[in-house]
A and B are shown apart, each in its own frame.
Chain A
């Protein structure tokens, strides 16, 4: 497959601590094609942001990639030294985070930040860079972009700031954008504007997008495929409609049932008993087995792995948990 932009195989991330080695990510495999949006969904602590950070080479020490491989358009990037990775970040991978203010320097005009970023990653002159910056602001839907080039970040609303951050991520025309909860801090009406913009950019430019969020509704309306994470592992991957309508993994089934619907009337929302295990207390076998109604002896013994599409669940894969 030549149009695979991102390929993550068997990624394992570890944190050595005084109390022992914590495995934050275990056997995570996913891939994104050109022009495709992959949604990565899960609850707090499931490892979805960690996956994004590992791809960006931004793991907080002492966290480290302890196994597996990350390829960007065929080039291995997880083994690159930091100076080389710095060039990949920004130029080949763009990043959008939840809080637009962390990505923008409050002391510089928005236009100057864009121009500086463009010149850092390309050979353009200042005039050419200014031209592209203006074009980018127009493309992300900033009204009166000529005037807004001279504004400071605090003069923009939250939604407009996130558009500027998207423009910043697009500066070097990256192959991949990692967007970590890009709409979580925004109101619903603005959230829809931003997800529509991401989809459009993805279609127009063929950029691959990894959309990390806890919001299943955003995933259902934005992503093409979805990867569901639990306790640092991938539990289910597939086309978004299949996962939303016919979830296979008992955790995904429980997760979908716990979301109050807009059409469905239920007196009680379905609940998953208990809570997600902490990293130092992940049970052997399938990480979900203590909370699962279908758990059998094999689930407590052996961790199911999903290669490609499907659910990492013995029941779904083999039809039995014995």
Chain B
């Protein structure tokens, strides 16, 4: 898959983790080697200046993709092609309490990527830039002299964003950036991120478990289940016409403030262990449309339907 305007292309990406018992146990107790396929053949592309969201439940591999794209993990297989400056990738993490060094003043935290990017920056230049960045994210220039503990969760996430911007990024990987925040604070941070995207032409890979947040932020949405993308569609299409039975179940399950449904039927079963995923389509044990083909054959990731794509035999064959 190639797109002329893509800033990031990911092809058949795989990441396996060895989760075997220690060597001695394997020898003495005859335990087998075990592999966890956290990311199992994923591809997508993100056009410049746009937002692609990865959604899914815990353990679906979305955070592993964030770490692969930013280079924190090497891929086991597949390719990540970045059509831009590799140094201009920054990341915003979920936990604003763990991602800021508590012993550094905010000014030093924000200036760090700046000094890495431009080692010849003078102290006065760095100070001016930090003040400017603090202003951009809605904090005061005097906050540079404070330590992270003096700030609330939402303010810390603003500091994380200012630090990311200091690296003059083209591309930002945001891993659950608002999940630890209260809704009113989440709204402030989401609005800030949208404004910065407009002003600086940023590209976002936005990772979240919250479909309503993703709907607000993303141009395209990829739904993940057990390490694979089961469906990828433009946001409006995904909500208007979900193709994969898992997407439909997710949309059926999330509480809807505007049209609450007290009698909705909850999804059956739970996500199986990614160490021993079911054969065929890994969603088949929970799928109302599964037949023998789904239980044995694995749907390919490239079935193109309308504007998006879906990995589902039922959708492909028109079974409903």
User: Complex Cα distance A190/B184, Å?
Assistant: 25
B256 lies within 8 A of A262 (CB): yes
Identify the closest chain A residue to B182 (Cβ).
A43
Assuming the A-B contacts A255-B184, A269-B190, A271-B187, are A189 and B258 also in contact, with contact meaning beta carbons closer than 8 angstroms in the complex?
no
Q: Is the CB of A189 within 8 A of B255?
A: no
Q: Quick one: which of A193-251 are within 8 Å of B by CB? A: 193, 196, 199, 214-218, 220-222, 240-241, 244
> Which residues of chain B have C-beta atoms less than 8 A from A262's C-beta?
211-212, 215, 239, 251, 254, 256-258
A259 CA / B187 CA spacing, docked (Å): 7
In the complex, the answer to whether A261 meets B258 with C-beta atoms within 8 Å is yes
What per-residue 1/0 map shows which CB atoms of B234-269 lie under 8 Å from chain A? 000001000000000111011111111110101100
Q: Is B216 an interface residue (CB 8 A)?
A: yes
Q: Does A272 contact B184, Cβ atoms closer than 8 Å?
A: yes
**Structural contact, B191 and A220, CB atoms closer than 8 A:** no
User: Which B-chain residue is minimally distant from A183 (CB atoms)?
Assistant: B255
Determine the chain B residues whose CB is within 8 A of the CB of A267 once the complex forms: 194
When A187-B58, A189-B266, A259-B183 are in contact, do A268 and B250 touch as well, CB less than 8 Å? no
Cα distance A289–B144 when bound, in Å?
Answer: 29
Residue A283 CB within 8 A of the other chain: no
Tally of A interface residues using CB under 8 Å = 44
B261 with A221: CB separation less than 8 A: yes
B57 within 8 A of A: yes
Q: Any chain B CB within 8 A of the CB of A17?
A: no
**Interface residue ranges, B against A (CB under 8 Å):** 57-58, 152-154, 182-188, 190-191, 194, 209, 211-213, 215-216, 239, 249-251, 253-262, 264, 266-267, 270-271
| 9 closest residue pairs by CB, A with B | A217-B255, A258-B187, A260-B216, A43-B182, A192-B266, A269-B187, A187-B57, A189-B267, A220-B260
Listed in ascending order, the chain A residues whose CB lies under 8 Å from chain B are: 43-44, 157, 159-160, 187-193, 196, 199, 214-218, 220-222, 240-241, 244, 254-264, 266-272, 275
Other than the given A187-B58, A188-B209, A189-B253, 6 more pairs (CB < 8 A) read A189-B271, A215-B255, A259-B212, A261-B258, A270-B187, A275-B185
